[in-house]
Amino acid sequence: MNTLTTEGQEKINAIALQYHLSQDAVLAMLQAVLNGGGRMAQFNIYELGGGGQWMQGGMTMVGDMFNHSLKNKVSNLCQELANLVAHSSIFELSPIAELGSSFIANNWYPSELGIPSSVGSQNNIRYAIFPNTSRLAIEVNGVLSVYDTLNHRISGVSQQQQNNGFSIVLSSQFGTVDVLSLPLVNGHKKEEIVVEESIDSPVSVVLPEPIIEPEKPVLPVSVIDEDDIFAKIELLAGLFQKGILTEQEFSTKKAELLARL
């Protein structure tokens, strides 16, 4: 986790006092929320009853399952931390950000895209991800293309071999996505570029966690609700398999979620 600003430290201290927790406990939960992209958290914090999970939208699981006061405390804490990282500048700027536009101007990607959360290269391809502007820049053999990432939070880029060459596949919260399915903002699509260097085997690189950014334009409510429900059921199934939930508790909660479809 990046270093907190003075203002960020003051806000964490205030939250710790508000919830009667130590600063270390709040910082541990902040890291868990960051790891979950600001929408979920998996944690193991002694002051909050040990292990548990939180998902934005109302689902909270704690070790003491029937302690509703603790559930509310965890839910409110996680939501407050998620709002804090989404709408406040609580971290010190990274060295790349401090260099500003003069640094960006020396890079291969357009400066107007902003500061990338992740950059990398594989064989004859370079890529940079810009979550704050919803853009993905890809350069193949010196030819640059910029795509709109829509509401995808990209966490990985890989190349996959095909009979006629290769494809570029992204990893997002919705699964794998072919880059050609994204809107092309400018440049050339991959199939229009002559690839001079062959790829002998698939290469896959997992990128660092993206910088948390404000919410992107969302899909229609019906689609997101369905995705969230299935995600929650998967979480419940994992807790059931670990013995945290009884079979009756799992079945009851699963039925409640399916009834919302």
pLDDT of residue 204: 44
The verdict on 67 and 8 lying in the same domain is: yes
**Is there a domain that residue 6 lies in?**
yes
pLDDT of residue 93: 52
pLDDT of residue 73: 93
pLDDT of residue 202: 42
The verdict on 261 and 238 lying in the same domain is: yes
The verdict on 158 and 227 lying in the same domain is: no
The verdict on 81 and 148 lying in the same domain is: no
The verdict on 116 and 202 lying in the same domain is: yes
Domain end call among 92, 112, 127: 92
**Is there a domain that residue 211 lies in?**
no
Q: Which residue in this structure is represented by tokens 């689902």?
A: 59
**Is there a domain that residue 87 lies in?**
yes
Domain end call among 92, 116, 133: 92
**Is there a domain that residue 228 lies in?**
yes
Name the residue range of residue 107's domain: 101-206
The verdict on 45 and 137 lying in the same domain is: no
Q: Which of 106, 92, 100, 81 is nearest to 18 (CA)?
A: 81
The verdict on 63 and 122 lying in the same domain is: no
Burial string for 95-109 (b: 16+ CB within 10 Å, else e) reads eeeeeeeeebeebeb
pLDDT of residue 38: 78
**Is there a domain that residue 213 lies in?**
no
The verdict on 88 and 107 lying in the same domain is: no
d(CA 54, CA 41): 5
Domain end call among 92, 122, 155: 92
The verdict on 202 and 109 lying in the same domain is: yes
The verdict on 154 and 229 lying in the same domain is: no
pLDDT of residue 1: 60
**Is there a domain that residue 108 lies in?**
yes
**Is there a domain that residue 25 lies in?**
yes
d(CA 126, CA 222): 36
The verdict on 133 and 38 lying in the same domain is: no
Asked if 108 and 127 count as a contact pair (C-beta separation under 8 A), the reply is no
Q: What is the pLDDT along the chain (261 residues), one digit of tens a residue?
A: 668 888 889 999 999 999 999 999 999 998 888 887 778 888 898 899 888 889 887 788 888 888 889 999 999 999 999 888 777 677 765 443 333 333 334 467 887 887 776 677 766 788 888 887 888 888 888 888 999 988 888 777 776 666 556 678 887 888 888 888 889 988 765 444 443 333 343 444 444 444 455 555 544 544 446 667 777 888 888 777 777 778 888 888 888 877 776
* Domain count of the fold of the chain: 3
d(CA 78, CA 29): 7
The verdict on 201 and 245 lying in the same domain is: no
